[in-house]
Structure 1
Amino acid sequence: MKTFTPCQMIQPTNDLASYQAAIQERSQNGFISSSGRKKRNIGSHTKYWKNGKTLKIAISNANDEAFEAVIAAISKWLPYVNLKFEFVRGETGDIWIILNAPMGIQSSAVGTDALIDDIGGTDEERRGPSMYLNWVPGYSRFEYVVMHEFGHALGAQHAHQHPDSAIPWNVQGTYDYCARQFGWSKEVVDANILPLPRSDQYTYRPYDADSLMHYEVIPEWTFGGWGQSETHAISDGDIAMMREAYPKN
């Protein structure tokens, strides 16, 4: 039985544009640590926003109730980052959120990938939405979904994709299930569910099973009936990662 619909991280179509946007936003994004020091979650450290920045967050297609619900959920990250959030209605901002898009997906670009468009430029007027959310009044998971997607917008990857998670993945079973239930290709599953190969592109903290950025893992995806529910609160590991990414002076 399908218990939920997973989110999809929006993948950049132009890797060079992604890199250029990242280093223009924050020069440290171009530096890769070779220390090998393990960290507590998996974050796309090349896509963090400039520390101390006021992020302009544009929200479109939202009634007053939905607008306030999105603001409340996103603001739960504020105590843990050295950033300010400016919320506006419309389509123009560092991050553009659209509610109830026709495709019905819930997804977000990772960090500064929100600054690029499909052509590869960074012209604010040409950029499309960088986050999609489904608003249903009274939906109990809405706050969690917004917080999870905004974790991506701050630069976090999926915690369950940590290469050290030791989750007993049934790879073919996961492919089959996601194709049947969600219409996902193997490439989409690899990008959003299965472990990412260890890479210098990422910073690592020890695997955090309690992370807000961790999917529910269902038995159909694993061997031995292994499963895990999702966490609807920002974990200690999430806090540590964000405070390291956006330290307060």
Structure 2
Amino acid sequence: MTAQQEKDAQRYCAQPPQRIPVLPSSLSRPRTRAILANHAKWLNGTQLRYSFLDGAGDGVAKAWLTEVHNGFEEWESLGIGLKFRPEDNPEESEIRITFADDGSWSYVGTDCLGIGSSEATMNFGWDPTSPYGKATVRHEIGHSIGFCHEHQNPFAGIEWYVDKVYEYMAGPPNFWPAETTYHNIIRKLSTDQVSGSQWDVLSIMEYGFVSGLIKRPEEYRAGISSPLQLSDHDKEYVRTWYPPLAPHMEELKPFQSSVLDLASGEQADYEVIPEMSQKYQFSTFGNADVKMVLFEQVGEENPRYITGEDDSGEDRNGRFEAKLFKGRRYILRVRMYSTWGSANASVMYW
């Protein structure tokens, strides 16, 4: 590792604050946990478009752009249900990338949708072609699909030498203010926000740390090496969140309800082919928190977003109206947050 690469390996992702839904205090703990654990995840089957706000023509080396492409391809090659497509027009992209010298970071999952279409949702602040830079690319893409920092996992049991952490991060090469250090290192995630019950020290979402910052667990007092590749648990979790799509979908017919026999985090996908061109109502029924989104299938690889609804945390069912055209093919995706009560949840359109 060169001196520059070693310096870069001491620089850390400064993830922006994540948007956490404000839920009614009257909600049950299982319902709250289900919503918080899944709210930032994309619907499975989503095609995420990414663009560069500054590209090769703006002084960014072509090799840097290529390595970012490689990072997206590596995540997709795991056989997940998400697809990534480069897009020339940033305003048409969910993920917008810059290479500004202000650290590396990314918004988490669907938080990207709340950022202005001319603003970046991801940044790489150092050479992404070094071994550590390649790991940084995979780390930031992990954020963009819903992963949080692994060392902030409440099950890690990390006890910090807090003053030393603040002092170390305030110095070179990071120069972080205290609030950035707290948000990205000291702060523990809520148990409601994480999936699983273990700490994966090999995760690409884990920081490496020098000796003298961790008090407990004792085996990490000498520090943690920076993971440089996706771990087995990273691959397992992303396939659980975004499993490979089934080759065929059930067709949802008008006025025929379909039972949503889904566990928290699972998803149902339906083909919708209207026999008449008109406005249709789509709705869920029963006691359930769901995210429901309608796409129009344009070609083989380009589903176009039509509309959607998220009723999580509210005592109502999701419903929306959309004009559909005879003979065209649409896809309805329904991701379950939680169900309660005795009756089965279902979905229907008419």
How does the TM-score come out when normalised to structure 2? 0.57
Matches within 5 A, 1:38-187: 45-63=38-56, 64-78=62-76, 79-92=78-91, 93-99=93-99, 101=100, 103-117=101-115, 125=117, 127-134=118-125, 136=127, 139-181=130-172, 182-187=174-179
How far is 1:84 from its partner?
0.9
For 1:6 and 1:162, locate their aligned partners in 2 and report how far apart those are by CA, in whole Å: 17
Q: Is 1:211–1:237's contact at 8 Å kept on the other side of the alignment?
A: yes
- C-alpha change, 1:85 and 1:197, in structure 2 (3 Å) is closer
For 1:204 and 1:130, locate their aligned partners in 2 and report how far apart those are by CA, in whole Å: 27
Give the corresponding residue for 2:13: 7
For 2:205 and 2:45, locate their aligned partners in 1 and report how far apart those are by CA, in whole Å: 23
Q: Is 2:45–2:82's contact at 8 Å kept on the other side of the alignment?
A: yes
For 1:242 and 1:32, locate their aligned partners in 2 and report how far apart those are by CA, in whole Å: 22
Q: Secondary structure at the match of 1:142?
A: helix
- Deviations 1:66-111 (CA, angstroms, capped at 9, x unpaired): 2222101221111152111111235220111112x1x431100000
| Structure showing the higher strand proportion among its residues | 2
- C-alpha change, 1:4 and 1:80, in structure 2 (3 Å) is farther
For 1:67 and 1:167, locate their aligned partners in 2 and report how far apart those are by CA, in whole Å: 36
Q: Which amino acid aligns with 1:131?
A: M
Aligned structure 1 segments of 4 or more residues deviating by more than 3 angstroms: 31-34, 134-138
Q: Is 2:103–2:126's contact at 8 Å kept on the other side of the alignment?
A: no
Give the corresponding residue for 2:233: 237
For 2:89 and 2:69, locate their aligned partners in 1 and report how far apart those are by CA, in whole Å: 14
How far is 1:60 from its partner?
2.7
| Structure showing the higher helix proportion among its residues | 1
How does the TM-score come out when normalised to structure 1? 0.78
Q: Secondary structure at the match of 1:209?
A: coil
Give the corresponding residue for 2:311: none
Give the corresponding residue for 1:202: 194
Give the corresponding residue for 1:216: 208
Q: Secondary structure at the match of 1:85?
A: strand
Q: Is 1:55–1:95's contact at 8 Å kept on the other side of the alignment?
A: yes
Q: Secondary structure at the match of 2:156?
A: coil
Query: Which residue, out of 184, 188, 191, partners 1:192?
Result: 184
- Deviations 1:26-75 (CA, angstroms, capped at 9, x unpaired): xxxxx6446xxxxxxxx953201111011111123222332222101221
For 1:134 and 1:210, locate their aligned partners in 2 and report how far apart those are by CA, in whole Å: 23
Give the corresponding residue for 2:336: none
For these two proteins, the number of residue pairs brought into alignment is 219
Q: Percent identity over the alignment? A: 26
Q: Is 1:46–1:201's contact at 8 Å kept on the other side of the alignment?
A: no
How far is 1:187 from its partner?
2.1
Q: Is 2:37–2:192's contact at 8 Å kept on the other side of the alignment?
A: no
Q: Mind listing any 5+ residue stretches in structure 2 that lack a counterpart?
A: 1-5, 24-30, 57-61, 247-350
Q: Is 1:44–1:157's contact at 8 Å kept on the other side of the alignment?
A: no
Larger-Rg structure:
2
- Deviations 1:99-125 (CA, angstroms, capped at 9, x unpaired): 2x1x431100000111113xxxxxx64
Q: Which amino acid aligns with 2:243?
A: P
For 1:57 and 1:189, locate their aligned partners in 2 and report how far apart those are by CA, in whole Å: 28
How far is 1:149 from its partner?
0.5
Single out whichever of 54-63 and 133-142 deviates more from structure 2.
Answer: 133-142
Single out whichever of 129-138 and 52-61 deviates more from structure 2.
Answer: 129-138
- C-alpha change, 1:171 and 1:226, in structure 2 (3 Å) is same
For 2:199 and 2:233, locate their aligned partners in 1 and report how far apart those are by CA, in whole Å: 9
Single out whichever of 184-193 and 205-214 deviates more from structure 2.
Answer: 184-193
